[in-house]
Chains A and B, each alone.
Chain A
Amino acid sequence: MAVLLLAEVTDGALAVDATAKAVTAAAALGEVTVLCAGASAKAAADEAAKIEGVAKVLCAEDAALSHRLAEPTAALIVSLAGDYSHIVAPGTTDAKNIIPRVAALLDVMVISEVTGVVDADTFERPIYAGNAIQTVKSGDATKVMTIRTAGFDAAGMDGSASVETIGAAADPALSEWVEDKVAESDRPELTSAGVVVSGGRGVGSEEDFALIEKLADKLGAAVGASRAAVDSGYAPNDWQVGQTGKVVAPDLYVAVGISGAIQHLAGMKDSKIIVAINKDEEAPIFQVADFGLVADLFDAVPELTEKL
C-alpha cells in the first residue's frame, strides 16, 4: 500500500500541524509520500521531510500551482495517482476544493472528513453534523479522502525523508487568482490551538468582541465565533466554528454568549474541557459544558480575564 498525501502549503509555507496530523492517519494505510506544491514549495518540502512517518517528499514548483487553485493542483495529483493506493489530504478548505475533483477525475468516490481508519478500505466519518458516525467500506481501486485533523495527533518532527523535485502537470488554465484577504494575527491558528475562546450573538457587536479577544489573549488562545456572530459582522468568516466552519478539539474551549445549536456543537464537542458562559440557564450549550457559568457575559468575561 502506498499513500500520496497532499501537504497544506500556503504561499510557500507548510502548515505543519494539519499536515502532520494527516500523516498520522495516513501512516496506518501504508508508506507515505508527501506532495508539496506551489509557486515555491522547496522550504515546505524540506519541513515536510522532517515529519515522522514520511518516506519521501515530492516537491512541485510551478507558477500555475501558486494560490492553491483546484484545477492545476488536481491535474498534478492525477498525473501521479497511478503509483498509489490512497490519496489523502488534511481536511482544509484547500483540500476540500481539490480532492473531490481528483476523485471524480479518477472515477472514484471521495470520502470526506475521515475521523477513523479501520483498515485500508474502511473508514469512519461523521454525518448529520456529527450526530451519527458512519463506517464506510470503499470498493474503489484508489481511495481518495480528506482527514478531519481534529481526530488525530500530530506526528513528531524527527524524521528525515528524501526530497525529490518533480514537474507540474499541464495547467488547464481555467481559473486565475485575483487576491487573498488574510487577516494577520499573532494568535495561534484556530484548528491547532490548545485553547479557543469563542463568542456568539450574545456578544452583541463587533466592538464588544474585544472582550472575547482580551480573554483569548490572556489565555494565549485562538478566537472563534458562532455562525450568528459571523453573519452579524462581529467576527470574520474564518473564525466560524461548526458543521460548516472549522472543527476544533482544543484542551480548553470557552463558549461565551453561544446558545449551543447542533451546528455549532458539531465543531467543538470533542474539546477536552468545555466552559460555557451564558445568561440563559436553559441554553443547550450547558449540556456539553464541563463547567457552566450562568451570568451576564459583560460582567463575567472581564472578571475572568482579570482573575486568570
Chain B
Amino acid sequence: MKVIVPVKRVIDYNVKVRVKADGTGVDLANVKMSMNPFDEIAVEEAIRLREAGKVEEVVAVSIGVKQAQETLRTALAMGADRAILVVAADDVHTDIEPLAVAKILAGIVKEENPDLVICGKQAIDNDMNATGQMLSALLGWSQATFASEVNLDGDSAIVTREVDGGLQTIKVKTPTIISVDLRLNEPRYASLPNIMKAKKKPLDEKTPADYGVDVTPRLTVVSTSEPATRQAGIIVGSVDELVEKLKEAGAV
C-alpha cells in the first residue's frame, strides 16, 4: 500500500504575524518557515503505518515555492521515502488556493495510484480547512476528516473524528482521504543521521502544467488588515475586587 502525504510550508507557528503596511498581505520576508504542524502529524501517521507493515511507501508532496523543498527534506528526514515538489509560484507571497492544490494532488494521485492520502486538517496560515475534502470530491473518494484515531482494516479504514459534539467514528472505503487533527499522534523529531540520509532520497520537481492545472486564483485578495486590538484592562488586587468589578460591568 502506498500513502501520499501533502505537506505545506507555512510561517512557523511561533512567529508573530505582521500585516504589511500597504495592506497587500502578511509580511513573509525573512520570517521563519516550517512544516504546517498538522502535516507533521500526517507524516508521522504515515510512517507509523509503514513501520507497522501496513504500508510500503510514503510519498511526501508539496506545492508552492522552490524553498518548499526544505519542508520536503524534513518529511524525508522524518521517514518519508521520496518526495515530489510542484513549483507553482516564485514569490512566497503567492499562495496557491486549496482548489488548485487539490487539482494538482488529484493529478499526482492518478499517476501514483496510492490507497491513502493523509493530509493536515488545516494549514495554520490561511486556516481554510479545505484541501483534503476538495481532493476527495475531485477523486470521487470517501473522506474522513479531523481524525484522532485511524485503523486500517482490509479495504476500509475505521476513523475516529473530533467533532463539535465529541467524537464520531466512521468506516470509509479505501482508497480514501484522511485529514488529521492534533491528537492523532505526537510527531517525532528527525535525528541528525536521518537528516543526512534525507539529502540523498529522491525529490522530483514538477510544475502545475505537468498535471494540466491552471492555478489562477478564484479569490482576489482586496485587502489585508490588522484585527481590532483590545483596550488594555486592569489588574485587580483580590477576588473581592474582581467580584466588585464584574458586578459594576454588569457581567455577573
A, B in one complex: yes
Binding site for B on A (CB under 8 A): 10, 67, 69-71, 74, 92-94, 96-105, 107-113, 118, 122, 126-140, 172, 174-183, 191, 219, 227, 230-231, 236-238, 243-244, 246, 251-252, 262-263, 269, 272-275, 281, 286-295, 300, 303-304, 307-308
Whether B162 pairs with A93 at a CB distance below 8 angstroms is: yes
Cβ of B69 under 8 Å from chain A: no
Whether B146 pairs with A178 at a CB distance below 8 angstroms is: no
Whether B26 pairs with A132 at a CB distance below 8 angstroms is: yes
Known contacts A104-B102, A136-B221, A238-B164; is-contact A291 B246 (Cβ 8 Å): yes
Give the residues in chain B near A174, CB-CB below 8 Å.
Answer: 141-142, 172-173, 176
Whether A101 pairs with B227 at a CB distance below 8 angstroms is: no
Which of the residues A111, A176, A244, A246 comes within 8 Å of B171, measured between beta carbons? A176
Known contacts A70-B145, A304-B239; is-contact A292 B233 (Cβ 8 Å): yes
Q: In angstroms, how far is the closest chain A Cβ from the Cβ of B48?
A: 18
Whether A269 pairs with B225 at a CB distance below 8 angstroms is: no
- Can you list 20 contacts pairing A with B, beta carbon distance less than 8 Å? A10-B165, A70-B136, A93-B164, A100-B133, A109-B98, A127-B127, A131-B26, A133-B225, A134-B224, A178-B158, A178-B171, A180-B167, A182-B167, A237-B166, A273-B249, A291-B245, A292-B234, A292-B235, A303-B239, A304-B242
Whether A97 pairs with B243 at a CB distance below 8 angstroms is: no
Which 3 A-B residue pairs are closest in the complex by CB-CB distance? A174-B142, A104-B134, A104-B137
Which of the residues A74, A109, A178, A293 comes within 8 Å of B235, measured between beta carbons? A293
Known contacts A101-B134, A127-B126, A227-B182; is-contact A136 B219 (Cβ 8 Å): yes
Per-position binary interface string of chain B over residues 58-76, scored 1 when its CB falls under 8 Å from any chain A CB and 0 otherwise:
0000000000000000000
Whether A178 pairs with B129 at a CB distance below 8 angstroms is: no
Q: Which secondary structure dominates where chain B touches chain A?
A: mixed
- Distance A246 CA – B165 CA, assembled complex (angstroms): 11
Give the residues in chain B near A263, CB-CB below 8 Å.
Answer: 13
Whether B165 pairs with A101 at a CB distance below 8 angstroms is: no
**Beta-carbon contacts under 8 Å, B124-142 to A:** 124-131, 133-138, 140-142
Work out how many contacts link A and B, with CB atoms closer than 8 A.
Answer: 254
User: Which residue of chain B has the shortest Cβ distance to A11 in the bound complex?
Assistant: B165
Which of the residues A97, A98, A130, A307 comes within 8 Å of B240, measured between beta carbons? A307
Which of the residues A98, A102, A236, A244 comes within 8 Å of B182, measured between beta carbons? A244
Q: In angstroms, how far is the closest chain B Cβ from the Cβ of A62?
A: 17
User: Which residue of chain B has the shortest Cβ distance to A302 in the bound complex?
Assistant: B239
- Distance A118 CA – B223 CA, assembled complex (angstroms): 12
Q: In angstroms, how far is the closest chain B Cβ from the Cβ of A274?
A: 7
Whether B219 pairs with A252 at a CB distance below 8 angstroms is: no
- Distance A225 CA – B40 CA, assembled complex (angstroms): 23
Whether B171 pairs with A175 at a CB distance below 8 angstroms is: yes
- Distance A121 CA – B188 CA, assembled complex (angstroms): 43
Give the residues in chain A near B116, CB-CB below 8 Å.
Answer: none
Whether B26 pairs with A110 at a CB distance below 8 angstroms is: no
Give the residues in chain A near B133, CB-CB below 8 Å.
Answer: 70, 96-101, 104
Cβ of B94 under 8 Å from chain A: no
